[in-house]
Amino acid sequence: MFDWKLILEAIGMIIYATFVGFIFMGIERKAMARIQRRIGPPIYQPIIDTLKLLGKKESVSHGFIYDFGPIFALGASITALLFLPIANFQLFSSNADLIVVAYLLEVPMLGIMLGAMSSGNPYSAVGVQRGLLTMVAMQLPYGLALIALIQYYGSFKLSDIVALQSLHGWSILVPALLIAMVVFDIVFQAMLGLEPFDIITAPAEISMGPMVEYGGKHAALLFTQHAVQLFAETAFFAILFLGGASNLLELLVKQIAVLFIAIFIASIYPRFTIDQAAKFFWKWPTILGIIAVLLTM
Amino acid sequence: MFVDWIVGHAIPLLLFIPAVSGVIAWLLDRDSFGELKDVFGLIGGLSPLVIIAITYGRLGDGIKWTVDTGVFKLFFHLGYMSWYLSAVAAVVAAAMAFGMVSTSRSGYEWMFALFSVSGLLGVFLSGDFAGFFLFWELMTFASFMMVLRYNKGASLKYFVLSIIGAYAMLLAIAILYAKTGTLEFQSLRGMIYNSIYGMVPLTKTDTILVYALFLLAFGVKAGTWPLHVWAPDAYSETNQSYTSFFSGALSKAGVYGFVLMFILLGIKLYVDMGTFHGHMVFTYILAWLGAITVVVAGFLAVLQEDLRKLLAYSSVSQVGYIVLALGIGSGIGFAGAFFHILSHAVFKGLFWLITAALILRTGKTKFEDFGGLAEKMPVTFAMALIAVLSLAGIPPMAGFASKWLIYEAAISAHMPLVAGAIFLGSGLAFAYVVRFLYSIWFGQRPSDLEDVEEAPLPLLIGMAILAIPNIVFGIAPGLAVKLINKFIPNSGVAANGYYSISTGVGTYNALSVTLILVVGLAIAGLIYIYGAKARKIPVTDTYQSGNPVTEDYNLSIRRNFYRPLAEALEFWLRYSFDRFYARLARMAEDFADSLREGFYNGNVQSYSWYLAIVLLILALWGVL
């Protein structure tokens, strides 16, 4: 009846992804510090932060949806993770294809926004507004990059895409898909919430935007969610463009490579305003995306 | 025995019970009869659902019914496709009937609401163009009368555009009749097939003309860009319970018209209009019209400041998805279109019933007047959440399954830019549903909304009728696909059991997504429970850069929420078809005025001059 091996794999994957996701967050902080000639926190710092938040004596709530938002976000991130074929673990990836996963990776955003809105805080509201406009803006190039990929491989199944890459070489070796990768990488910056597109949280501008009201265990949930999401998104990138991986170590190397590109871009660019971001996304990435799509027809 | 009788007479029962009970409800609109008109209204609204449910699985080769009116012979046919469409309409009609019990002001509204139910069912069931046009007009007239009751300007705009559409259709039907000599779909289809081999004198020019006229006729009803301008006014200026049927089901008549065009003229259009980069030209045009509608209406929905206007534009945008899916022209595209007909009907119907409840309880429609209602109307809020999740396309909901099919169809048919429009459209859908959520349900509550009550029971029942299919067809999309596969052979979409659908190049197992989401939520919930107990604080106790907050400050952003988007789009927003049509209408009015003043000028001499000119013309013609 139950496929115990699969369930064990899934549980193991959730634990592994959460841990590695936290380490990624630590790497992000450490690398940023090094770029600015600081020593920075130890690499396991986000884990300590999260445990501290979980250990708070009291947390406050603005009602049911306020609690439900972060829970929904984490739940959706875990779901997205389990539908990815991660290295040699297929998990549940045969049950859903690229479109489903691409959607699932966006659902956590709705959860966070749902909770943030119910707090009734004006900073949260501005954050929500910016978040949604970023999403509207990035959706077109994001879609075009995925369409180029699907058209080239002729399949929506992630496992097929990985298998075809292991036969014919990585996606980025194909010129059209290299362009798609560039587009995806620009969008990726916004997906991870890094500069120049960290418009949603914008710490110095709108005091963390949607997360402004969250503290205690709610914030711990959001940290965990961010860790899982970070792992899932970098893995998604590696699966689509870097040929997936045959084992977790290979995947980890690719994920860190992807992460470092994101960190390097993030640490030298200042933030866009939201209308600049919208205009930017509808200009160069969209044009590149259309070129990529036409080349793969 | 009784069941067999109903199955045998399904079509006349479907067509007449709503209309007749509507008339009775209108006649009973006296104080002395009390609530009796609502009873008849409910009978009329619920009967289609009951009859449709009874005929499930008993269709055989389709139920037929013929009436000889003397001039025309009307054919009706309840096949699998018309059953599916009628079932969608019947579900929405039942929900509307419950909503109307709470919100209808008079028997007048019952009568015309139920007339439009009959009209729509007639359109779906007609087997020939005579009946099709007759019921089409009934439907248009009834919906016009519903809007007229609330706003004359909006209703006239709707009426004029609908009439233009309807007479374009009449012209197209006339051309087809003149060339083929038949109105009946079956034989018309055969004739048009024969015309490819030159056996019927339907030329290429005729075909393209008929195509253009049909595009106009059905485009108006479906609200396709640039003919969508009536929709935002008409959908908002009427009884909102009725709008759940108007926007949820009635707009599908236009879509059905396009389907009919495919069935009757498809091959001929393909032969005459050829292909463009491997796509049939006539479907390609439809796909692009759909894509533009999705994007334009999506952007406009995001920028609205009125609840009803936002939902109206959203409705236009979502019907754009259906037109787009039809335009893809592949089996998966058709399956996606029919699935989206179902899911749009249920989630948009639900949205309008929620609007009806909000307007009934608060009397307000602008976003700036709402706020913090989630605590006051918890059940309605739960329904709103279901509608929002379904519209935004969150995986275990019907809205996702149908959109997923449309994505797969567009990308595998190699229409990348059209597929890009869907991606953009779904981002926009996220943005406008969040606007709806934020402004109405969350944040500070204005003091005049303190004594708002939960929606009345009939409205809640109506909402439940529509909320259940959203979840059921979301978790079991195979159910809908199985129904659709009965009338689209070789659709390319397979239902592996009830829970999983696949297109050959991709799969979506809704049950596994649901289960894993539940497990994920459980894990997150465990972390939540592990943390310290949360203390509940009011929304006014909040971070305001470290400043104290009192009730006097309105901290919720209710106006111009998406202002940066409006600024980014400034250039595009300068062009509006709304204003263009308004100008066109003014010009026509001015022209009529100048004609009146120029000819009927009251000067006897000029009338004698007219006489002289006519005589001169006749003389030149050689009559005199």
The 10s digit of each residue's pLDDT in B213-232 is: 999 999 998 888 888 888 88
pLDDT, residue B88, reads 92
Q: Do B508 and A96 touch (CB under 8 A)?
A: yes
Q: Which portions of chain A are predicted below pLDDT 70?
A: 1-2
Nearest residue to B198 (alpha-carbon basis) of B270, B271, B262, B266: B271
B394 CB neighbours in chain A (<8 A) are 103, 107, 110
Q: How far apart are CA B398 and CA B390, in angstroms?
A: 6
- For A276, B19, B527, B587, the CA distances from B248, given in Å and listed in that order, are 37, 19, 41, 34
Q: How far apart are CA A211 and CA B334, in angstroms?
A: 43
Distance from CA of A83 to the nearest CA of B (A): 8
A58 CB neighbours in chain B (<8 A) are 532-535
pLDDT, residue B624, reads 62
Q: How far apart are CA B532 and CA A281, in angstroms?
A: 42
Q: Do B414 and A114 touch (CB under 8 A)?
A: no
Q: Do B513 and A83 touch (CB under 8 A)?
A: yes
Give the pairing of strands B507-509 and B500-502. Answer: antiparallel
Size of interface A-B (CB pairs under 8 A): 261
- pLDDT per position as a tens digit, B115-157: 999 999 999 999 888 889 999 999 999 999 988 888 888 888 8
Distance from CA of A148 to the nearest CA of B (A): 8
Report DSSP letters for B351-368, one per residue: HHHHHHHHHHHH---BGG
B437 CB neighbours in chain A (<8 A) are 114, 117
Report DSSP letters for B411-472, one per residue: HHTT-HHHHHHHHHHHHHHHHHHHHHHHHHHSSPPPGGGTT--PPPHHHHHHHHHHHHHHHH
pLDDT, residue B291, reads 92
Q: How far apart are CA A160 and CA A206, in angstroms?
A: 43
- pLDDT per position as a tens digit, B450-496: 888 888 898 999 999 999 999 999 998 888 888 888 888 877 888 88
The residues pairing with B126 across neighbouring beta strands, listed in sequence order, are B76
Nearest residue to B22 (alpha-carbon basis) of B119, B88, B115: B115
Contacts of B42 (CB under 8 A, 6+ apart): B97, B98, B101
Please answer whether residues A141 and A186 qualify as being in contact, where contact means their C-beta atoms are separated by less than 8 angstroms. Answer: yes
Q: Do A132 and B431 touch (CB under 8 A)?
A: yes
Q: How far apart are CA B565 and CA B306, in angstroms?
A: 17
Q: Residue B329's pLDDT band (boundaries 50, 70, 90)?
A: confident
Q: How far apart are CA B544 and CA B546, in angstroms?
A: 5
Distance from CA of B345 to the nearest CA of A (A): 22
A273 CB neighbours in chain B (<8 A) are 564
ipTM of the complex: 0.90
In the predicted structure, residue B92 carries a pLDDT above the cut 90: yes
pLDDT, residue B170, reads 92
Task: Give the Cα-Cα-Cα angle A81, A116, B524 (nearest 5 degrees).
Answer: 35
Nearest residue to B298 (alpha-carbon basis) of B424, B416, B182: B424
B446-480 in b/e form (b: 16+ CB < 10 A) is beebeebeebbebbbbbbbbbbebbbebbbbbbbb
- pLDDT per position as a tens digit, B421-440: 988 998 899 889 988 888 88
Residues 435-464 of B with CB under 8 A from A: 437-438, 441-444
Please answer whether residues B479 and B472 qualify as being in contact, where contact means their C-beta atoms are separated by less than 8 angstroms. Answer: yes
| Backbone φ and ψ of B126, nearest 5° | -65, 140
B500 CB neighbours in chain A (<8 A) are 95
Q: Which of A100, A164, A199, A205 to mutate to test the interface with B (most CBs of B within 10 A)?
A: A100
B521 touches chain A (CB under 8 A): yes
Q: Do A129 and B567 touch (CB under 8 A)?
A: no
Distance from CA of A113 to the nearest CA of B (A): 8
B531 touches chain A (CB under 8 A): yes
In the predicted structure, residue B34 carries a pLDDT above the cut 70: no
Nearest residue to A73 (alpha-carbon basis) of B477, B535, B394: B394
Residues above pLDDT 70, as percent of chain B? 99
- pLDDT per position as a tens digit, B393-414: 888 888 898 899 899 888 888 8
Mean pLDDT computed over every residue of chain B: 87
Q: How far apart are CA B94 and CA B97, in angstroms?
A: 5
Q: Which of B294, B445, B505, B553 to mutate to test the interface with A (most CBs of A within 10 A)?
A: B505
| Residue recorded with tokens 């990585």 | A170
In the predicted structure, residue B605 carries a pLDDT above the cut 60: yes
Please answer whether residues B433 and B394 qualify as being in contact, where contact means their C-beta atoms are separated by less than 8 angstroms. Answer: no
Helix (H, G, I), strand (E, B) or coil at B293: helix
- pLDDT per position as a tens digit, B341-392: 999 999 999 999 999 999 988 888 888 888 888 888 889 999 999 999 999 8
Q: Do A133 and B565 touch (CB under 8 A)?
A: yes
Count Cβ atoms within 10 A of the Cβ of residue A36 and give its class: 0-12 exposed, 13-18 middle, 19 or more buried.
exposed
The residues pairing with B128 across neighbouring beta strands, listed in sequence order, are B184
- pLDDT per position as a tens digit, B275-321: 888 888 888 898 999 999 999 999 999 988 888 999 999 999 999 99
Half-sphere exposure of residue B291: CA atoms within 13 angstroms, side-chain side: 22
Nearest residue to B52 (alpha-carbon basis) of B16, B20, B11: B11
Rg (CA), chain A: 19
Helix (H) or strand (E) holding B579: helix B577-599
Q: How far apart are CA B11 and CA B29, in angstroms?
A: 28
B520 CB neighbours in chain A (<8 A) are 74-79, 82
3-state helix, strand, coil in chain A (%, to 5): 75, 0, 25
Of B374, B531, B562, which is closest to A216 when you measure between CB atoms?
B531
B271: Cα separation from own chain's centroid: 31
B414 CB neighbours in chain A (<8 A) are 151, 297
